[in-house]
Amino acid sequence: MPSTPGTLPPKAARLLAAAGELLLARGSKGVTIAEVARKGHTGKGTVYLYWKTKEDLLLDLMCRDFLDLAGELTDLLAGDHELIRPSRLCPTLLDLARAHPYVDALRSNDAELLGVLTTDDRSATLLDALGPDALVRRILPIWRTHLLARTDWTVADQTMAVNYLFSGVMTSTSDAPLEEVRAANRVAAAAFTALLGPEEAGPKELRAAAEGALGALAEQRVTVTNLLSQPVPV
């Protein structure tokens, strides 16, 4: 089996794709190693060369979805420091989370799709590292430091309020039509500004805040990468 650091063996990539199609179509209970092998045009033994259990295989799918979200956010933020503003970052995160099925499923505790993985300790680590709600919690102190959030609340109370708002928008727009989602994002942008206060940061503060958020993202991506059975492709 190829073991070059940072690369994903072609057979493993094909099996992951097969598992993803089966998982979205049938849910975790409907996925078997035999079906993954058949759909990936290999034998069962080949699947077990890469993953010890079905849960390890499906966890890799989930991790990669979270890593993809983090990678997309990293690219957006690196290219536009203005995106660090709460009124822009929160709606962007909402859109990214909706576009990633396993991110959305895990944060909503979708046991029908993910099965026992909703209670797996590794899933909890994944959600705490790169879940959209967790990312907002991690970035909140950065906002406070760089004139993007009020500081007359305690961090704990402010974090709780932000979590309620973010989770509420995510839940209320689940499976909503596009126009409703767009309307919700507009309201959410204004609501985050009302909650966190005026965004008084200038270019210097925005750059520092964006760099701080990028550093936090990079750190948490390492945490999630370490959960993978197979390495992230370069």
Which domains occur in the chain, in start order?
Answer: 1-50 (1.10.10.60), 61-225 (no CATH)
**pLDDT score, position 101:** 94
Neighbours of 171 (CB within 10 A): 10
**pLDDT score, position 6:** 55
**pLDDT score, position 1:** 32
Among left, alpha and beta (phi > 0; psi -120 to 50; other), residue 83 is: alpha
pLDDT along the chain (234 residues), means of 10: 56 95 96 96 94 96 96 97 96 92 93 95 96 93 97 94 89 83 90 94 97 97 92 56
**pLDDT score, position 177:** 84
**pLDDT score, position 64:** 95
**pLDDT score, position 232:** 57
Among candidates 176, 203, 200, which has minimal Cα distance to 188?
176
pTM: 0.91
